[in-house]
Amino acid sequence: MSIYRRKSGRWAVLVDLDTTAAGRRRRRSLGTFPTRRDAEKAEREALFARDRGVDLSPTTVTVAGAMDAYLRDRATRCGAKTLEEYHGIADRYILPRIGSLTLAKLRPAHISDWQAVLAAEGGQDGQPISAKTVFHARSLLNGMLAWAVKMSLVGRNVVSAVDAPAVRRSEAKAFEADEIARVLDAARGTRWHSFIALAFALGARRGELLALKWPVVDFERGVVRIEGSLSQTKAGVTMKGTKTDRVRTVPLSSFALDALRRQKVAQAADRLAAGASYKDDGFVFADAVGRRITPWNASYAFGELARKGWDLVDTLARRATHRGDDDAGRRDRRALGSRNARSQLSGDDDDGLRASARGRDG
């Protein structure tokens, strides 16, 4: 490794890559920089990448290799669920098609052709995919190449030279009053009624509701403090901060308070029935023996309940297609068809909550 000043006044950087079989050092130039501080920064970043297994030789680094290194780097900067989604996008849409190309030979024409082919036949069984899905795949590739430029693995980000697919903006659609009523009716007599009622009342995210514990519920003041969220990936369930990493205090309507009171009564009945096997971790929403409910099971249960009222699967699928979100549509349909929720769809009848919904606070 060496940093030296050229006659032009700019600072050059050389980084050791490895040693050849003949015992000679193989080095790579990172280019020149206007100040020594800039040169030292480039050297540190390159050495960090080299020590994490990144091949700093641009003639050998492939899109697949750079993506692997980029995702390892992102693992220290983003949540597990986001990282899992990045891997899924890379594995489905990027690596099978352009993963073997070397970064040095990647051209804007490759990106343009990749986007076009992906849109036409990138889906399951060669079906077309939406512009929004192509946009998500392009965004990940763009992020990787921007990182590769910073790591001096490639001279420029060729994605920036190609127009992104036009994505139609769609207005978010909330549940109508009659839709809410039908879901609440379907939930009557199940242990999910209070959960769904509170979801409609607060507009909180699924993981935020599942992370609630009784100490954050203030019945006297009529507020609840949302401090975190349960996140689930294939690796398991973890507690994390809210999406904005902010704790917020939310007022509770009479409808929401009624749902929480009934949940407390139902939980006391579960505790009595389970006896010594009940595990009380303090969660507002738990199963019959006190264990926390996972986000996936909550989604599965909602699907089962929705089908009791009307075919919400088709409704969600149509909305997902309208939004252009193919992946979200497939996830919703898989979640709404799981058997795991069926074993949890039992409990005392929750009379009165439906009537309370009609008279909730504005």
* Structural domain containing residue 10: 1-43
The answer to whether residues 215 and 82 belong to one domain is: no
pLDDT (0 to 100) of residue 138:
96
The answer to whether residues 57 and 74 belong to one domain is: yes
318 falls within a domain: yes
Which residue has better confidence, 246 or 361? 246
Q: Tell me the torsion sign for CA atoms 285, 287, 291, 293.
A: negative
pLDDT digits (tens, 9 = 90+) for 233-260: 888 888 888 887 889 999 999 999 999 9
The answer to whether residues 352 and 243 belong to one domain is: yes
Query: Which H/E stretch holds residue 229?
Result: strand 229-233
**Which residues 6+ apart lie within 8 Å of 334 measured at CB?**
none
Half-sphere exposure of 248 (CA within 13 A, CB side): 16
Query: Distance of CA 11 to CAs 5, 49, 61, 346, Å?
Result: 4, 21, 25, 71
The answer to whether residues 230 and 150 belong to one domain is: no
Residues recorded for the chain: 362
pLDDT (0 to 100) of residue 28:
72
When divided into structural domains, the chain yields a total of 3
The answer to whether residues 256 and 141 belong to one domain is: no
Whole-model pTM over 0.85: no
Neighbours of 107 (CB within 10 A): 12
Query: Which H/E stretch holds residue 30?
Result: strand 25-33
- Amino acid code (one letter) for 282: G
Question: CATH number, domain at 109?
Answer: 1.10.150.130
Residue 318 has pLDDT above 80, yes or no: no
pLDDT digits (tens, 9 = 90+) for 179-237: 888 888 888 888 899 999 999 899 888 999 999 999 999 999 999 999 999 888 888 88
171 falls within a domain: no
Residue 104 has pLDDT above 70, yes or no: yes
168 falls within a domain: no
Q: How far apart are CA 171 and CA 252, in angstroms?
A: 27
The answer to whether residues 224 and 330 belong to one domain is: yes
Q: What angle do CA 152, 142, 244 make, to 5 degrees?
A: 110
The answer to whether residues 239 and 307 belong to one domain is: yes
Q: How far apart are CA 311 and CA 350, in angstroms?
A: 23
Query: Distance of CA 303 to CAs 71, 93, 107, 336, 337, Å?
Result: 33, 28, 45, 4, 7
